[in-house]
Amino acid sequence: MYDKGKIITGLIVFVGLITFPIWYGFGSAGHLPNPEKPKNAKECVEAVDYMRTSHMQLLNEWRDDIVRSGGTRAGITHDGTEYIRSLQKGCMKCHTNKAKFCDECHTYTAVKPYCWDCHIQPKEAN
């Protein structure tokens, strides 16, 4: 067997490099998204868990109901707070900062919703 030393050293270096991401971040969960919650509101239109997993379905339902079925634009939460079923006029009235709320998770999960191609985000402070 020729060049035994070189090959084995090379293999060790190769395996080390390829597994670098695993042991580099070992023991830490990395940077987790931390969306900024609105200060002027305590509850959302649905439970937090539901909003976290299904806000996109909710938005689709609102859109189809209002645009196509002539559904009502006003909604009411369990606690009796009235809101407008609209991304621009509803959601973004509380979540006023898209960068610190929406983008925080969307960037983390590499999701690129095309909502903002048309819908106007509120003016941000930055």
Partner 1 sequence: MDNSRRKFLKLAGVSAIAGIAAPAAFNSLLKGEAFASGGGSGHGEDKAPTGKRYGFVVDVQKFAADKDLAQRCINACHTTHNVPDFGKDNKKDEIKWIWTETFGHAFPDHSQYKKNTQLVDLPIMTFCNHCDNPPCVRACPTKATFKNADGMVLMDFHRCIGCRFCMAACPYGARSFNWRNPAVKNEDGSYKYIRRPNLDFPTRMRGVVEKCNMCAERLAEGKQPACVDACRPTDGIIFGDLNDPNSEVSKVLREKFTIQRKPALGTKPSIFYII
Binding site for partner 1 (CB under 8 A): 63, 67-68, 70, 73, 88-89, 114, 117-120, 122
Q: How far is the CB of 45 from partner 1 (least distance, A)?
A: 18
CB of 74 to partner 1, least distance (A): 9
In the complex, least distance from residue 62 CB atom to partner 1, rounded to whole angstroms:
12
**36 versus 124: smaller Cβ distance to partner 1:** 124
CA dist 23 and 15 (Å) reads 12
Report the residue number, 18 or 120, with the smaller CB distance to partner 1: 120
- Rounded to an integer, what distance in angstroms lies between the CA atom of residue 34 and that of residue 108? 10
Could you give the CA distance from residue 68 to residue 53 in angstroms, rounded to a whole number? 25
Residue closer to partner 1 by CB (options 93, 108) is 93
Q: Which of 92, 57, 63 is nearest to 103 (CA)?
A: 92
Rounded CA-CA distance 46/58 in Å is: 10
